[in-house]
A = this chain, B = another copy of it.
Amino acid sequence: MVKNIPNFLPSEPTKEFLDVLLQNENIRIERIVSKGHTSPASGWYDQEDNEWVLVLEGSGTILFEDGREVTMWKGDFLHISAHAKHKVSWTDPDRQTIWLAVHYPALN
């Protein structure tokens, strides 16, 4: 019944690792493990849903299309509204960064 986040970490990820921890029609919770990975150089994430993101370990930077750039460390959390175009512009290359992302429906 209980599941654990650290226990199924890849030991040496060669690409970003995404695991869906919970998904149904009202919510999707993901654990993402990065190590120096970033979003593709071109294009932006443009999401239908709202996203709330928390850094569990490590650090990374989120860049918004409007020029805002936010570096987050362990314990930092951030709300990304639906259709706020963004990308991950940096993650720590020397250790794993673990993100918890909670996607939920945009408000009516």
Are B6 and A104 neighbours in the complex by a CB distance under 8 Å? Answer: no
The segment from A21-29, A33-41, A88-96 found at the interface with B is: A21-29
What distance in Å separates the Cβ of A89 from its nearest Cβ neighbour in chain B?
15
- Whether B102 pairs with A102 at a CB distance below 8 angstroms is yes
* Nearest neighbor of A74 in chain B, beta-carbon distance: B6
Give how many copies assemble into the complex: 2
Contacts A1-B68, A5-B54, A100-B54; is A26 near B105 (CB within 8 Å)?
Answer: yes
Q: How far is the CA of A50 from the CA of B23 in the complex (A)?
A: 12
Complex interface: chain B residues within 8 A of A54 (CB):
5, 100
Contact B52 A27 (CB under 8 A): yes
Knowing A1-B68, A1-B70, A26-B26, say if A21 contacts B104 (CB, 8 Å): no
